[in-house]
Amino acid sequence: MFSKRQNSGYTLIEVLVAMVILALALSVLLQIFSGGLRNISVSDDYTRAVLIARTQLNSASALAPLSTGSSDGISDEKFRWTRTVENYEYSAATNTPLNAYTVTVEVEWANAKSERRVQLSSLVLGEEKRQTR
């Protein structure tokens, strides 16, 4: 007679189901990590763009004397910047002896999916207005 033996192992179907569950879990984890890496890259680009814009704002106010107009350039072979200096218009009631300028810096760069842009603006005081007599 044949004796009935009890197997303590797993069946083929149980192993296949476990492998499918593991594959699904790993694919979800990989997508989460790749999304995080993309976000880190975008954040790095924004940080570099703001740093470039701040540098251009500071260099505009360091120029003596300030004059209206625009200039542009490329930084880090990826970022295009444009700096615009315009006269600041006071309200009619303000009578001040200073010239003021609005300095605007816009930094653009191409991302994998779209164009990105950062714009910073500042009010900079220039030389005193010359009194006409």
Domain count along the chain:
1
Residue 60 covered by a domain: yes
Residue 3 covered by a domain: no
Which residue's structure tokens are 């004796």?
A: 3
Residue 1 covered by a domain: no
Sign of CA dihedral 19, 21, 25, 30: positive
For 20-77, the pLDDT digits (tens) are 999 999 999 999 888 888 889 889 999 999 999 999 998 887 866 788 899 999 998 8
pTM for this one?
0.69
Residue 120 covered by a domain: yes
Residue 78 covered by a domain: yes
